[in-house]
């Protein structure tokens, strides 16, 4: 960590914490679940008080014994995000790698998540409306979509979320929720049309979007939206252009919602989402500039279909049923590889990185014309039963999750096996149960357990490969105790196990063999923290909340590639378990909301150590402090503010290009949303990113920072 910057960050966090605690001491009434305060004024809702999706009792983030952040529609619009990764700028513990290239985005949560191979999908669960999203390809990202499609993103940090979402979520879970027609239809109206355009000066980045929402009656509504986004190559703050960052991308969503039964409380939702990009002559390495890999033409198409059924059955405590069926297909077709500059393999010795031909099965075979795809079918069902007493409630959730994923890697010419991208099928059946006990509205105890039965079936083209199966367990216990309406403490213990992926089991090379003996990665995670909140501080209509979480994650049987390790005997497994590591740290998150002022704080401190060597882990990002402050003038619908991000010195040269230096960036933003008059329905967003054109490199990035960018978004909605 950077000693000077880190000390300053701690002082800033301490000052902010002192302010929040002092303010909370004057709080008169919590009222977290109320629409109005005790004085009858409209209560404001802070970042930590937004509803969190999950089984059991609906909670706000501050009442959850887990580190949770919810990013809503207002936050997404304010960011004017060009890529999905930009949505997470103020979320503690989350780093998006390769976010400046549309095809290079991969996630890192609390120091867990790969940098070059983008194998984060096996350690971080990512869903869209509940549909699992996964992609693993050398120097490619893992998630392809457009931020304009979503109204909410929920981030659950830590492996405790494995119980409900699947074993192996060592880092956590990211849930994306698509927009609904009801988000845009005003009371008394039947529908709405919304048009939006955005422009960014850096790269001449533009967006054109159109949305139609219609309510047929009280039981049926539909939403259809389409987006086109493009950009030239981005300018770097230090000069020059970021090669391979130019793109054209189309995206669209059709979503229908149908309600029926008593009080229309039963809901069926059906949605189809498509994202596509046809990128010509793009850098093969999308996670960071690696010119030696040359360029290629890529067409990436991502499809997601979801059909769900909800029956809360409010008059039946034994029934709260959710059924979910989904299909996802992420396909990447690459053609016409062009060689880059030769790579230096020894002092003064340079060799070109090019495939030898269509039938090549050597180390450079991945550069050939190939059609890759991940196709995933999933069914998930759960039911929650409620038991109540005079001073207690109990919510018992049980469910099943069944998925089948096919990995395809076909070459149009040649039939040789793919050594580094093996084809195969993964089948999983998960059984889970979670119990949530609430006593006197003060003590919440959540216990849960999950068993995932797993089978990996390799393609017949992989010599010597055999089917691999196993069982992974994910138990947990978490508790939250509210001493009063303003202060509570929480803690949790969670265990999860991650199956090896197809890549890890069945990749091989001329000198490295298969890895059938790989053991599951294991995580034992411990968390402890406290939460502070209050309303009507000093008699005004305002809200304050603060949450601090400390954690220790003990990791064993970690898996690493041996492909680049010299001196190993021929036939050494391509992947191996390397022992133990631990990651520990703490996160601070706070918000203050008032009539004409708001502020937010997010701070992450991480340390990761390889137990075998004592060295720092290469997946640990820099310590980051993000401070946001702004004001509002509600009669005009005006909001404005600034965000400053402080990064400490990196502990380790995570990507082999030297330890990252400390850096600071400043962004400005303003929003105008008039509520009355001729301009009602108009939205104007203005922002300046990297105001002072700071030139830096984040510790998990290969490339340096984007230069100063001015952005503007104009939207107009018409109701009918």
CA distance 627 to 606: 18
CA distance 637 to 619: 42
CA distance 719 to 213: 9
Q: What percent of the chain has pLDDT over 90?
A: 61
CA distance 222 to 463: 50
Identify the three-state secondary structure at position 24: helix
Number of structural domains in the chain: 1
Tens digit of each residue's pLDDT (9 = 90 or more) over 89-118: 989 999 988 778 888 888 999 999 865 555
CA distance 300 to 295: 15
Residue span of the structural domain in which 358 resides: 3-719
CA distance 344 to 411: 29
Residues 6+ apart with CB under 8 A from 398: 382, 383, 432, 433, 434
Length of the chain in terms of residues written = 720
**Of 238-252, 297-311, 410-424, minimum mean pLDDT range:** 410-424
State CA 667 to chain mean position distance: 22
Tens digit of each residue's pLDDT (9 = 90 or more) over 6-52: 333 333 334 333 333 333 333 333 333 333 433 344 456 777 777 77
Domain CATH code at residue 394 = 2.40.170.20
Mean pLDDT (whole number) for 492-502: 94
474 touches 460 (CB < 8 A): no
The band of 76, judged by pLDDT with boundaries at 50, 70 and 90, is: very high
Mean pLDDT (whole number) for 279-303: 88
- The pLDDT of residue 562 is 85
Place of tokens 């403490």: 489
Mean pLDDT (whole number) for 667-687: 94
245 touches 255 (CB < 8 A): no
**Residues forming a β-bridge with 409:** 372
Identify the three-state secondary structure at position 570: coil
The pTM score is 0.90
Q: Sign of dihedral through CA atoms 43, 49, 53, 54?
A: negative
- The pLDDT of residue 39 is 38
CA distance 366 to 358: 10
């Amino acid at each position: 960590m950077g000693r000077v910057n880190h000390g300053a960050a701690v002082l800033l966090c301490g000052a902010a914490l002192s302010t929040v605690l002092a303010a909370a001491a004057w709080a008169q009434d919590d009222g977290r679940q109320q629409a109005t305060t005790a004085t009858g004024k409209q209560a404001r809702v802070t970042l930590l008080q937004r509803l969190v999706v999950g089984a059991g009792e609906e909670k706000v983030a501050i009442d959850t014994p887990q580190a949770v952040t919810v990013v809503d529609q207002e936050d997404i619009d304010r960011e004017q995000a060009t890529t999905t990764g930009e949505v997470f700028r103020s979320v503690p513990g989350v780093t998006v790698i390769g976010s400046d290239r549309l095809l290079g985005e991969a996630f890192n949560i609390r120091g867990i998540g790969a940098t070059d191979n983008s194998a984060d999908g096996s350690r971080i669960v990512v869903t869209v409306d509940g549909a699992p999203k996964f992609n693993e390809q050398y120097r490619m990202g893992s998630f392809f979509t457009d931020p304009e499609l979503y109204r909410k993103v929920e981030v659950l940090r830590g492996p405790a979320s494995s119980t409900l979402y699947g074993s192996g979520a060592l880092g956590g879970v990211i849930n994306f929720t698509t927009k609904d027609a009801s988000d845009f239809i005003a009371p008394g109206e039947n529908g709405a049309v919304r048009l939006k355009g955005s422009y960014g000066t850096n790269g001449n980045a533009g967006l054109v979007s159109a949305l139609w929402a219609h309510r047929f009656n009280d039981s049926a509504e539909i939403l259809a939206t389409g987006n086109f986004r493009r950009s030239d190559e981005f300018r770097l703050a230090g000069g020059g252009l970021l090669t391979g960052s130019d793109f054209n991308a189309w995206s669209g969503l059709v979503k229908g919602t149908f309600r029926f039964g008593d009080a229309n409380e039963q809901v069926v939702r059906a949605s189809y989402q498509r994202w596509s990009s046809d990128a010509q002559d793009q850098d093969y390495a999308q996670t960071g500039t690696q010119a030696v890999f040359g360029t290629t033409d890529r067409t990436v198409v991502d499809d997601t279909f979801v059909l769900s059924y909800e029956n809360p059955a409010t008059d039946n405590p034994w029934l709260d049923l959710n059924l979910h069926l989904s299909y996802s297909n992420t396909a990447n077709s690459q053609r016409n590889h062009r060689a880059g500059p030769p790579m230096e393999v020894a002092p003064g010795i340079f060799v070109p990185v090019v495939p030898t031909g269509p039938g090549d099965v050597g180390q450079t075979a991945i550069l050939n014309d190939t059609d890759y795809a991940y196709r995933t079918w999933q069914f998930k069902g759960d039911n929650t039963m409620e038991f109540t007493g005079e001073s207690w409630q109990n919510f018992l959730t049980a469910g099943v999750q069944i998925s089948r994923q096919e990995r395809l890697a076909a070459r149009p010419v040649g039939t040789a096996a793919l050594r580094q991208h093996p084809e195969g099928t993964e089948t999983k059946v998960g059984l889970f149960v979670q119990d949530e006990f609430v006593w006197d509205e003060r003590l919440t105890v959540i216990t849960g357990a999950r068993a995932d039965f797993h089978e990996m079936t390799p393609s017949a083209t992989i010599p010597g490969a055999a089917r691999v199966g196993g069982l992974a367990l994910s138990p947990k216990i978490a508790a939250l105790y509210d001493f009063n309406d303003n202060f509570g403490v929480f803690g949790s213990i969670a265990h999860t196990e991650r199956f090896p992926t197809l890549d890890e089991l069945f990749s091989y090379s001329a000198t490295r063999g298969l890895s059938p003996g790989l053991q599951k990665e294991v995580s034992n995670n411990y968390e402890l923290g406290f939460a502070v909140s209050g309303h009507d501080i000093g008699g005004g209509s305002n809200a304050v909340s603060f949450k601090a979480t400390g954690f220790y994650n003990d990791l064993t049987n970690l898996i690493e590639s041996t492909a680049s390790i010299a001196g190993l005997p021929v036939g050494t497994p391509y992947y191996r378990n390397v022992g133990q590591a631990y990651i520990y740290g703490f996160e601070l998150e706070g918000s203050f909301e008032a009539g004409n002022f708001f502020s937010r704080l997010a701070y992450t401190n991480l340390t990761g150590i390889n137990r075998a060597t004592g060295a720092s882990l290469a997946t640990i990002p820099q310590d980051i402090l993000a401070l946001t402050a702004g004001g509002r003038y509600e009669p005009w619908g005006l909001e404005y503010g600034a965000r400053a991000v402080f990064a400490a010195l990196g502990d380790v040269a995570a990507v082999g290009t030297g330890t990252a230096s400390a850096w600071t960036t400043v962004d400005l933003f303003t929003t105008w949303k008039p509520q009355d008059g001729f301009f009602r329905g108009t939205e104007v967003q203005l922002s300046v990113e990297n105001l002072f054109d700071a030139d830096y490199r984040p510790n998990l990035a290969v490339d340096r920072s984007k230069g100063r960018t001015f952005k503007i978004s104009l939207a107009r909605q018409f109701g009918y």
